[in-house]
Copies of this chain bind each other. A is one copy, B any other.
Amino acid sequence: MEWSLHPQLAADTTPIGDLALARVLLANDANYPWLILVPRRPGLIELIDLEPNEQVQLLGEIDAAARALKAVTECEKLNIAALGNIVAQLHVHVVARRHSDVAWPKPVWGVCPPIAYNPTVRDGLVGALRRGLQFNKSSG
């Protein structure tokens, strides 16, 4: 079985690039800078479905994504979560939060309808995150 990105995740995000294990996506929601990491292994639902060495690999990629997101956005808090109640394919949210954002201090899920990015703002954010994650220009 080959891995493919769940269509709902594809529809709701903009690709940033592929790390060794996970695809890194930007959620199409200008309310919060919000990354989603999806391990490119078929059939995964829970974090505990991953082999231990791949769990550690994913953790390293979550750490890298969180550091890049924090550096680019200068956010005040990170929210990191694997939920999967609606889209079962294993994916990890890494969200940059501010005390002034529309959902603070609640978690972001389901609180406010997504806002479309201004394309220039989105492209600038994607570019900065690619540099932060040390993707070259051809990746993603």
Contacts and interface: CB of A to CB of B under 8 A. Distances in A.
Copies of this protein in the assembly total 2
Chain A interface category by residue count: 20 to 34
B79 A107 contact: no
A100 interface: no
A55 interface: yes
Question: Secondary structure of the A side of the interface?
Answer: mixed
B105 A107 contact: no
Nearest to A82: B80
B78 A81 contact: no
A1 to B, nearest CB: 21
Contact of A107 (B45, B52, B78, B83): B83
Interface in A40-83: 45-48, 52, 55-56, 59-60, 62-63, 66-67, 70, 77-83
Interface of A: 45-48, 52, 55-56, 59-60, 62-63, 66-67, 70, 77-86, 97, 104-107, 109-110
